[in-house]
Amino acid sequence: MTAAGFSVATPEAALDALFVPFTGGDLSLPADGRVLFLRARAGVRLRELARPGWLCEQSFLPFADELARCGLRVGEPAEGETFPLVLLLPPRQRDEARALFARALDLLAPGGTLVASMAKAEGAKSGEADLKQLAGSVASLSKHHCRVFWATPQPDAIDRALQDAWRALDAPRETADGWWSRPGLFAWDRVDRASALLAAHFPVDLGGRVADLGAGYGYLATQLIEHCPGITALDLYEAEARALEPARRNVVNALRAAGRDFPVSVHGHDVTRGLPQCYDTIVSNPPFHLGRADLPELGRAFIASAAAALTAQGRLLIVANRHLPYEALLTARFADVRQLAMQDGFKVIEARGVRA
């Protein structure tokens, strides 16, 4: 954790490959200097090439903060604004990626070029095929174990019906289990087993002001509302902006179903920066990886922020993969640490009594 939030690694290979068509002469940067970079990530090549007219869009707060610390302009396009060049790092989840291709074409000026880069192991072949299906002719090349592909579509070459259908894939939707969610969120179309295990071990006396850290689409919060009558206020914290609307819908539905009425707020916030107020109880299924790599430091950052925000007799309830080394930090920050459950490769831990 740093003063500006948790530092995470950039996918340098995909980012480097994205700019190969420009350095190799296949493509040129626009003369007016206006470039939109969707799902932008900070990196050496981006810092070298970016100009003041570039706009970086990133919905995940730690990544957005990293871009801003590099001096890049971060935000969203204005209503009706289009760009002669749109860069894109598509996500692995296919519905999410397809919706992003459709939106990228909405933001592309007539005669403009859309360029995307994906690791071969992360669905590059499917991504290239999808863009070709949507926009017509596509050029591509391979570099750094990635595939970079681009299109300069004529307006009549774009499959508008398909674009409409794919654009709608990003809208919040109800899953088969009745939760509001959207593709690409963590465990977006199911109840995560670790979260379900944690919810099953919520103490009956859990109450007061409660926070859910890394709330996702709000599953744990709905279980708190349903099963913990002592709660007087509930705050959900989530760093991925795309999760906020589904979370709001789920907690509203949970309050209505439970016949309860107390303050519930959903905050777009990077938990690793700390929390803005104190709590009697904090619950969390903290993230422990980005991409395919374990990153236990991220979970430890959640624990540190929770310890700093709990009242003196407050308690923390977390669930984690059994191999993650959280116990030493928990013991250092809390007087009483005990394991409530060990099941299916996960452990539920309760920590009480914050050490001064």
- The 3-class secondary structure across 318-339, one letter per residue, is EEEECCCCCHHHHHHHEEEEEE
pLDDT tens for 60-91 read 999 999 999 999 999 999 999 999 999 999 99
d(CA 346, CA 174): 27
Which distant-in-sequence residues (6+ apart) come within 8 Å of 26 by Cβ?
A: 20, 139, 141
Span 258-270, mean pLDDT?
97
Locate 154 and state its tokens: 């004529």
Q: CA nearest 18: which of 72, 120, 87, 74? A: 87
d(CA 14, CA 41): 10
pLDDT surpassing 60 at residue 9: no
Dihedral angle at the C-alpha atoms of 90, 91, 96, 100, nearest 10 degrees? Answer: -20
Q: Residue 281 forms beta bridges with which residues?
A: 210, 315
> pLDDT value at position 295?
67
d(CA 116, CA 151): 9
- DSSP track, 229-242: TEEEEEEEEESBGG
> pLDDT value at position 2?
36
| Residue pair 186/336 in contact by the 8 Å Cβ criterion | no
Residue 156, Cβ neighbours under 10 Å: how many? Answer: 7
User: Residue with structure tokens 């107020």?
Assistant: 277
Say whether pTM exceeds 0.85: yes
Phi-psi category of residue 73: left, alpha or beta, with phi > 0 → left and psi -120 to 50 → alpha? beta
CA-based torsion, 47, 239, 59, 53: positive or negative: negative
pLDDT surpassing 50 at residue 4: no
Q: CA nearest 286: which of 203, 191, 220? A: 220
pLDDT tens for 90-136 read 999 999 999 999 999 999 999 999 999 999 999 999 999 999 999 99
> pLDDT value at position 298?
87
> pLDDT value at position 3?
34
Please tell me what DSSP assigns to residue 82: -
Please tell me what DSSP assigns to residue 77: P
Please tell me what DSSP assigns to residue 277: S
Q: What is the mean pLDDT of the chain?
A: 93
pLDDT surpassing 60 at residue 341: yes
**Does domain 173-354 fall into CATH 3.40.50.150?**
yes
Q: Which helix (H) or strand (E) holds 220?
A: helix 219-227
Confidence band for 10, pLDDT divided at 50, 70 and 90: low
End-to-end CA distance of the chain: 21
d(CA 279, CA 316): 10
Q: How far lies 332's CA from each of 14, 76, 274, 284, in Å?
A: 39, 42, 18, 19
pLDDT tens for 210-232 read 999 999 999 999 999 999 999 99
> 12-169 in CATH: which number?
3.40.50.150
Which distant-in-sequence residues (6+ apart) come within 8 Å of 27 by Cβ?
A: 21, 113, 115, 150
Strands (E) across 69-226 are located at 83-88, 108-119, 139-143, 146-151, 173-174, 180-181, 207-213
pLDDT tens for 26-41 read 999 999 999 999 999 9
Cα 279 off chain centre by: 24
d(CA 115, CA 342): 46
Do strands 230-238 and 180-181 pair parallel, antiparallel, or not at all (unpaired)?
unpaired
Q: Where are the domains of the chain?
A: 12-169, 173-354
Locate 344 and state its tokens: 């299916």
Q: Do domains 12-169 and 173-354 have the same CATH topology?
A: yes
